[in-house]
Structure 1
Amino acid sequence: MQLPADEPIATATLDGAYDTLGSYAALLERGIMPVIPPRKNAKAWKSKIVGSEVRNAAIAACKRVGRRIWKRWSGYHRRSLVETKMHCFKRLGSRVKARTFDRQVAELQVRAALLNRFTALGCPKTVAVAAMG
């Protein structure tokens, strides 16, 4: 992970490609609760495996209420909102160029300010001409 080891993180929302033993083990080792959708053909892990409780609960919930509801209930759907915003930032340049986390944050803050300015310039100002009635 790129974040410092002492950085507190409550949850990590990752896509289905991270539905692996290694991902769950790495996250839980740091005390991070993984929010990873199980693959569509996922089978429950044995109880001895690190992360099996979390993953098996996600599999059971997906079977019980469906993947769509599980994604809303778990907060997984917010990931797409973040990805959309990152896409907007990246459109301002080909990619995030900074290598360290602090510099990436600073770079994205500058891009966010630009994006907000562009958004403000492009928003129409609506004025009521006459009252309906």
Structure 2
Amino acid sequence: MAGAGERNETVRAIKRLGRRLWKRWSGYHRRSLAEEAMSRLKRLGERLSAREPAYQVAEVQIRCAILNTFTVLGMPDTVPCA
């Protein structure tokens, strides 16, 4: 199985580097965030309701603004501990 070899290599890399470092090294977080953003966009509806191109542009911009708001609301507040 081709996928099993890739999975085994990933598991070895995680054991060698640790999960946190592996996620940064592999770009896992970026992919995960991109997939989540697309999922939220699809939940807003897969089709545009406007017919005119100018209104479609406005509708897409509104959807992007909503997604950005979701992202800001979902981001944790980090506080340095010393």
TM normalised by structure 2 equals 0.47
Q: Which has the higher helix share?
A: 2
The structure number with the bigger radius of gyration is 1
Q: Which has the higher strand share?
A: 1
TM normalised by structure 1 equals 0.33
